Amino acid sequence: MKRWREGLPGGSFFQKQAPKGMPSWIPTRQFRTWPREGESRLVDFPLVNSADALLWMVQMHCIDMNCWYSRVDKPERPDFVVFDLDPPDEHRFTDVKHLALRLRELLEDELGLTAFVKTTGGKGVHVHVPLSARDDFDAARGFARRASEVLAAREPDRLTVEQRKDGRGDRVYSDVMRNAYAQTVVAPYTVRARPGARVATPLSWEELKEPGLTPGRFTLRTIGERLDQLGRSDPWAGLTRHRYGLARATQRLVKLAAREL
């Protein structure tokens, strides 16, 4: 839970343990904050799996909602690989769109995976690849890092995998380190706790190509109209039908990396 008890001017704090007085009809699940015993503590996490539970989170001053990469029955097996394409500023969003499309080509055309994209409500986009929860986080993170390295080799002036900010220059950073146990990713359609109340919004790949698409296009004021226009046409429809193990794609990626890096 990321709580803004005094609103945006008062700043936020993170709370993992379910608070005292939480309604009994909101279930909890107990997990370690780190997978290895001795390096972590057990925490009772709220399981927000209903509209009423979501409203309770709002009442607890949570604005942007952040979800685990895994489900409660397999917490150490991620449901997604996520590529976070993070530019140094919004003026590089054209590069972000170009790189996301190039990443899609790598994932889908060369590695046989289906990818989905959303704005983050911040400066960049997230590209999600749904998994079948067979691989662990080390495999997911290693795959994301190697794929990002291949793309950076193809687009050296636009993309970097350099973790140090002073080594990135004005290039877009592919942040893969959040593919880890107990890390979180901003949920689709959540409002971001930033000026303008932007909304993290699932897109179709065709929408990503639109010249007028900007990081701030979808906000709390405009998202309702978008949803009305979409109706039942969900850009992420079919996501749950496409779930993959990483073994075959990783083998293909290793060969690509050996040839190009």
Domains of the chain from N-terminus onward? 2-63 (no CATH), 80-260 (3.90.920.10)
How many CB atoms neighbour CB 88 within 10 A?
15
Model confidence at 154, pLDDT cuts 50, 70, 90, reads very high
Confidence band (pLDDT; 50, 70, 90) for 232? confident
CA distance 74 to 133: 7
Mean pLDDT of 169-176: 97
| pLDDT attached to residue 156 | 97
pLDDT in tens, 85-128: 999 999 999 999 999 999 999 999 999 999 999 999 999 999 99
pLDDT at 40: 82
State the Cα–Cα distance between residues 3 and 17, nearest whole angstrom: 13
Report DSSP state, residue 110: I
**pLDDT of amino acid 38:** 74
Mean pLDDT score of the chain: 95
Q: Is-contact 119 128, C-beta < 8 A?
A: no
Determine the Cα–Cα distance for residues 161 and 254; give it in Å rounded to an integer.
Answer: 17
In 66-158, which residue ranges form alpha helices assigned H by DSSP?
93-104, 137-154
Residues 168, 154: contact at Cβ < 8 Å? no
- The whole-model pTM stands at 0.95
Lowest average pLDDT, out of 15-19, 33-37, 186-190, goes to: 33-37
Q: What is the pLDDT of residue 175?
A: 97
Confidence of residue 62 (pLDDT cuts 50, 70, 90): very high
